[in-house]
A and B are shown apart, each in its own frame.
Chain A
Amino acid sequence: MAKTILAVDDSASIRQMVAFTLKGAGYEVIEAVDGQDALDKANIHKVNLVLTDINMPRMDGLKLLELLRKLAHYKTVPILMLTTESGDEIKAKGRAAGATGWLVKPFDPKRLLEVIGKVIG
């Protein structure tokens, strides 16, 4: 059975590029437009991995990460941050909140798939 990935980004073009890459590799993809939308969808679908942007309206990626880690199912699910941000301070915040990894945009599809393959097997 295909593994499901929740892709969270307020940019429609990024969501489409992520979905295109992941679906091409056989993953099922659920898209969310911000942290709140992602949280709602994460409660309905028990996904295998979350790939989230940081700077988003309504709820940012760090808050989403923090709230997901409080949910039983998401305590161990890999959560990767895919963002333009690359500062040490914000990275440390992500790490402390329980992020599995940090990917700086723009992403390369092959490398993205390698990393995802590594964390969800």
Chain B
Amino acid sequence: MAEKQSVEDQIKNQMVDTPVPEDQSGVLCTAEADEYFMGIKGELNQIDRLVSDAVNNLVINFRYISRLTKSHHDMVLAIEKMAAPEGSKPILELLDKQMDIAGKIEQELEMAITSLQFGDLVTQLLAHTTHQVEILKIELQRIDRQGNWKKKVGEESLHTIHEGISKAVDVAKNKNKRKPVVQQGMQMGDIELF
């Protein structure tokens, strides 16, 4: 079964139908530039792994705290029942305070559910950004192959390189998929029933 794919895997899948030129060394996309692009992708992948790891740990903590809170709540209720016949006012007051605290912890945990969804949003954005980097690299390589740069010299060459970069950026923009996440914060999203 397919679990959440790493950013790298998602990009590999997206790129599967895009032909990659054999000769990766060129004027626009030099070996150094290629290495630089690889570095960016590696770092985006590292961010994804760190965020996923942190989210997994937070979810484990969340579930544990929530179980503890529930058992604390039940315990206070049980003590309250036992103390009630005696009618000890200070004990009952303390237990009421305990119930208030348990209720507030539960409310906070509910709010944490919304925030804990950040990992999913971040992973999708990282995959989108990695995809953009990959597309730009491929377009630079493609234009390199079509450029016939060796025949051009001096200013003509410089002008053509600028043109090549602009063309690569334009094509990359057009090939770009729609951004999957537009949220700017972790506020609850809209709901619409059809």
Residues in chain A within 8 A of chain B (CB atoms): 9-14, 16-17, 20-21, 33-34, 36-37, 55-58, 84-87, 90-91, 95, 99-111, 115, 118-119
Contact = CB atoms under 8 A, between A and B. Distances in A.
Contacts, number: 118
Contacts of A109: 110, 113-114
A10 B59 contact: no
A84 B2 contact: no
B116 A86 contact: no
A57 B59 contact: no
Contacts of B56: 12-13
Contacts of A20: 63, 66, 113
A34 to B, nearest CB: 5
A95 B125 CA distance: 25
A86 B187 CA distance: 14
Interface in B136-194: 178, 180-183, 186-194
A16 B119 CA distance: 12
Contacts of A9: 120
Contacts of B193: 100-101, 115, 118-119
A118 B194 CA distance: 12
Interface residues of B, number: 38
Given A21-B113, A57-B10, A58-B2, A16 B120 contact: no
Given A16-B59, A57-B2, A101-B191, A107 B119 contact: no
A91 B114 contact: no
Given A104-B191, A106-B115, A106-B186, 18 more contacts: A9-B120, A11-B4, A12-B56, A17-B116, A55-B124, A57-B10, A84-B124, A86-B190, A87-B178, A91-B192, A101-B192, A105-B121, A106-B114, A106-B118, A109-B113, A109-B114, A110-B110, A115-B193
B75 to A, nearest CB: 19
14 contacts: A10-B5, A11-B123, A12-B4, A13-B117, A16-B59, A17-B117, A20-B66, A84-B124, A84-B182, A100-B194, A104-B191, A105-B121, A106-B183, A107-B117
B16 interface: no
